[in-house]
Structure 1
Amino acid sequence: MTDSAFEPLTVTYEHLRHSTDAAELSEFARRELPDRSDQAAFSRATALLEAVGGNPNTPVEDREFLARTMPFPNVLVKLARDPEASVRQAVAANTDDKNWLVGRLTKDPVPEVRDTALRNRKTSWKMRLEGAQNPEVDAATLDFLATLGTEIEEGAPAVLSSMVRRAVALNPNTTAATLDKLADDPSAEVRHAVAKRRRQ
């Protein structure tokens, strides 16, 4: 391939989007980005990464690398739809994500992706609450959600965080150990939910 710097962006983009050359795609995925001060080169590079990230011929480990390290929504949106769960999980863990994108991944059909998204600090309180209410969410993630507003994110909105902890207390997947912790919760609503759960 000729030096892509001399090709129109659309030509290079379409080439990379359809390329079957794994080595070429891998090289683009790992290429150092130009300095942000060179806005034209920087914008071009991030646009091309979108093409690379969205190409299923890009090696999985390179798509995972982009999913973990990229702060750019255009690239992450492509990777959030990746057929490989490991790539979507890497997006779900990326704390540069936009909250709407992490929120989408809290609904992923693969439990590991869903649970990773629920642990991302960019996840909205609405999505956290829905996760805490979901009977398919695993016990470890529920244990994490049970600490929001008390042990972690102590500056969190009291009403919202207590709603999440209350939902955890009522979730059938919540372990006895997590319930014991929530039995001493500062919120009366959470303590009442624990008592209700124990009566069931």
Structure 2
Amino acid sequence: MTDEQNTGNAEGFEPLTAEYERVRHSTDAAALSAYARRPLPDRADQAAFSRATALLEAVAGNLNTPVEDRIHLAEAMPFPNVLVKLSADPEPEVRRAVAANEDDKNWLVGRLTKDPVPEVRDAALTNPRTSWKMRLEGAQNPEVDAATLDFLAKLGVEIEPKAPAVLSSMVRRAVALNPNVTPATLARLAEDGSDEVRHAARRAIERRG
């Protein structure tokens, strides 16, 4: 390759750090939307793929990116660097989409089970990536809604039937003791195959009269 060709290739090239900062601070919503929706390069082109995913992190962290595009990234992206940015988004719908993304790392889903917005918390608790520790804490949380408790009450039975028996029964027992659990869910737990769950549910039914 000649020096002239080298010079030509270099012209117009923007280093990644410069483009990242430009995108991160951009106020051009249309351009940011285009970045968010642009198809990723083939993974075989490692340099181009890495550059594109790095720039998506900048797009995700820029609040001038339209909300619908941030939600799209939160739903579609499997990349931790992008999802971490979106998990701190001020828009609950963006965080809820991250919480429901099954490509999440379990520690990131776990963080969102503590979100102050119920819809975000509930999405995280029903994500199969959530750890058993977080599921148990969710089942014990009196602020968790009845629908999510009903989901947790099915773990190890109708949902994830091959789940560890001890862990799933601990979660179902905690659901039985949660004041938000519905009579219908309690009635089902009162017939649970686990003695501990069954007894907890029947005691709760008795207390409710």
Q: 1:1-34: per-residue Cα shift (whole Å, max 9, x none)?
A: xxxx820000000001000000000000000000
* Largest Rg, 1 or 2: 2
Counterpart position of 1:188: 195
Q: Is residue 162 of structure 2 the alignment partner of residue 152 of structure 1?
A: no
TM-score by length of 1: 0.97
Query: Aligned match of 1:124 in 126, 131, 135?
Result: 131
Query: Aligned match of 1:39 in 29, 43, 46?
Result: 46
Q: How does 1:82-161 map to 2 (within 5 A)?
A: 82-161=89-168
TM-score by length of 2: 0.93
Structure 2 residue identity aligned to 1:85 = P
Counterpart position of 2:64: 57
Q: How does 1:14-29 map to 2 (within 5 A)?
A: 14-29=21-36
Query: Aligned match of 1:166 in 149, 170, 173?
Result: 173
Q: 1:83-135: per-residue Cα shift (whole Å, max 9, x none)?
A: 00000000000000000000000000000000000000000000000000000
Other structure's SS at 2:55 match: helix
Where in structure 1 do 4 or more consecutive aligned residues deviate above 3 Å? Answer: none
Q: Is residue 15 of structure 2 the alignment partner of residue 11 of structure 1?
A: no
Q: How many residues align?
A: 197
Structure 2 residue identity aligned to 1:121 = P
Over aligned residue pairs, what C-alpha RMSD do you find?
Answer: 1.0
Query: How far apart, in 2, do the equivalents of 1:162 and 1:118 lie?
Result: 16
Query: How far apart, in 1, do the equivalents of 2:193 and 2:44 lie?
Result: 49
Query: How far apart, in 1, do the equivalents of 2:79 and 2:167 lie?
Result: 29
Structure 2 residue identity aligned to 1:155 = K
Unaligned runs of 5+ in 1: none
